[in-house]
Chains A and B, each alone.
Chain A
Amino acid sequence: MNRFMRWLGIAVVVFIAAPLVIVVPMSFSEARSLQFPPPGYWLGYYRAYFTDVSWLVPTWNSILIASATTVLTMALVVPATFALVRHRFRGKSIADLMMLMPLAVPHIVMAVGYYSYFGDLGIVHTHLGVILAHTCLSVPIAFLVLSANLKGFDRTLERAAQSLGASPTRTFIHVTLPILRPGLVISALFAFIQSFDETVVAIFISGRGAETLPRKMFDSIRQEADPVIAVISTLLFAAVLIGLTAPLLLSRWRGRRARIGTG
């Protein structure tokens, strides 16, 4: 039984990790299209990615759109979360529901809606259109993360700050915000990733004018299965790995430095 469970565990891990691991060797492949195992290795497709404007422009679009989406999402979500978590008012439950609606509605339905509505407004195929659509999709995710953090926030700390002479504004700046910072960072990160990764809505409304990276990858794999896709996948995979481990290493390094500094 124990042995069976162990093998099952290994099988599950392999099954989950395999697609990730396969793209890495394929990105160094000499083959003319996606092929596994690769017939030989070189760095040609990396050079192709970093020199080809038809790949660099969508990359830049995606970064721009995801960044703007993150800023806009946080500007909406931070005040909304404080209002919804800390205050009671008429229509609160409806407001709660509306915040989370985009999670429940299929993206394809949203995409069709945006296509016709943004068409009327004349912002289909523009950066602005994609940013607005992505913000709608990011808001519920950012809200869920931040509200969980805010619910766990001990309000005694704010009272303590006020009793010590901090006005409500200074309490927010010196106590509430720094303590919520990890939650805010994770919330913003989720907003960024959801926009960077989003494909369905992007296919419908990004067009030539604001083509995003996932959309370009989708088009490419349909037409020619260009191994550059494997390059991009590998680079994204590496970026995520760095993004996940860097804060951990940084805090360890800081902790060690603090101990040396005071010891």
Chain B
Amino acid sequence: MSTYLQLSGISKIYGQFTALEAVDLDIKKGEFVTFLGPSGSGKTTTLMIIAGFETASSGAVNVAGKSLFGLAPHERNIGIVFQNYGLFPHKTAAQNVYFPLQMRGWDKAKGLKRAEEMLDLVGLKGFGHRHPKELSGGQQQRVALARALVFEPSLLLLDEPLGALDKNLREQMQIEIKRIQRALGVTTIFVTHDQTEAMSMSDRIVVFEKGRVQQVATPLELYHKPETRFVAGFIGESNLIEATITDAAAGEAGNTALGTVEYARTDKVASGAAVTLMIRPEHIKLSRNPVDGRKNVRMKVETIVNYGDNALVIGKVGEQPMRVRVLGADVVIIREGEECCISWTRDSVYVIAN
């Protein structure tokens, strides 16, 4: 499918400070894309530039081939759900959802009927007469979503909408938002700093850091093939080990705290290159004795964090800190302060060029 929303070379400069640097992005119609990054990484600034509440210092934003720049926020036809919902306290839920239709000159009876249908779709049938303060956080969230979708916007922007909800409700709303987004097929950008939220909801994830796009990929690609050290550290847990490629043809890296390490073969690095090796904690096996056919090293166990179904074992190989995730049942073989064997296969060692 062709590009629907296109950002090209978007920069935002405040005096000496560069908040965004040449952001390029192509999003397809109906896609669910998440902007993921720590606070101050530029993800919300990008969202606000698309919405029209911030102006870019340079670059262009096009929707279906037409530029958005030069249009005021109210002329852009973009639905937004804000972090604190932004529901109008003096209007009922139904009046809130009717508001965008009212602004578009709809007949009142028809508009209110449409608003009720929309509330029905988000699971709030019969709540139309309530004011926002008479609704729970999750219900307010649903009203905000209905209001942002009722006028069939060309884009839906969600600015950390789940931040204020507790954990169970958050998971429930993640599923709800996905369901509604799929049902309506609306192109959606979701902003969050929560990587599990990004992983579970997105078609693709855009990772922001310090005003730059680090990587654009599907959740699984991002997890298994991070392109930068930042992405590897930010998405999931990982062991990151400094190394130098000693033999690119054989797939060997040396100069590490773990000795010589064989890695999954790749042609993106040459011998002599300084790299970072990534091993996910769940790919490491913990045992009393060395295991044949795997790379084995001895680790001194410092801390064991038990989660019941699994446990995180934190220790050191020489000076290199290592994290190992094991099934809860396996952790009984080891105690804090003891030495044990950790091992992995070469396919679990992923090379990130520095």
A interface with B by C-beta (< 8 Å): 154, 156-157, 159-168, 170-171, 174-175, 178-179, 258, 262
Contacts and interface: CB of A to CB of B under 8 A. Distances in A.
A166 B73 CA distance: 9
B302 to A, nearest CB: 46
B90 A164 contact: no
Contact of A166 (B77, B80, B103): B103
Contacts of A157: 86, 88
Contacts of B86: 154, 156-157, 159-160
A159 B99 contact: no
A154 B88 contact: no
B90 A179 contact: yes
B110 interface: no
B111 interface: no
B89 interface: yes
B84 A163 contact: no
Contacts of B89: 179
B4 interface: no
Interface of B: 51, 53, 72-74, 76-80, 82-84, 86-90, 99-100, 102-104, 129, 147-148, 151
SS class, residues of chain A in contact with chain B: helix
Closest 6 CB pairs of A and B: A160-B86, A165-B103, A164-B100, A162-B73, A163-B80, A156-B86
A38 to B, nearest CB: 49
B17 to A, nearest CB: 19
A159 B73 contact: yes
A237 B217 CA distance: 72
Contact of A262 (B77, B104, B129): B129
Contacts of A167: 72, 74
A178 to B, nearest CB: 5
Contacts of A154: 84, 86
7 contacts: A159-B80, A160-B88, A162-B53, A162-B74, A163-B74, A164-B100, A165-B100
Contacts of A160: 80, 82, 86-88
Contacts of B76: 163
Contacts of A165: 74, 77, 100, 103-104, 151
Given A162-B73, A165-B77, A167-B72, A175 B88 contact: yes
A232 B137 CA distance: 51
B82 A164 contact: no
A167 B84 CA distance: 22
A166 B103 CA distance: 6
Nearest to A165: B103
Contacts of B80: 159-160, 163
A159 B90 contact: no
A164 B103 contact: yes
A178 B88 CA distance: 10
Contact of B99 (A161, A168, A179, A262): A161
A256 B335 CA distance: 65
A258 B53 CA distance: 37
Given A157-B86, A164-B148, A175-B88, 15 more contacts: A156-B82, A156-B83, A159-B51, A159-B53, A163-B51, A163-B73, A164-B74, A164-B79, A164-B100, A165-B74, A167-B72, A167-B74, A168-B74, A171-B74, A179-B89
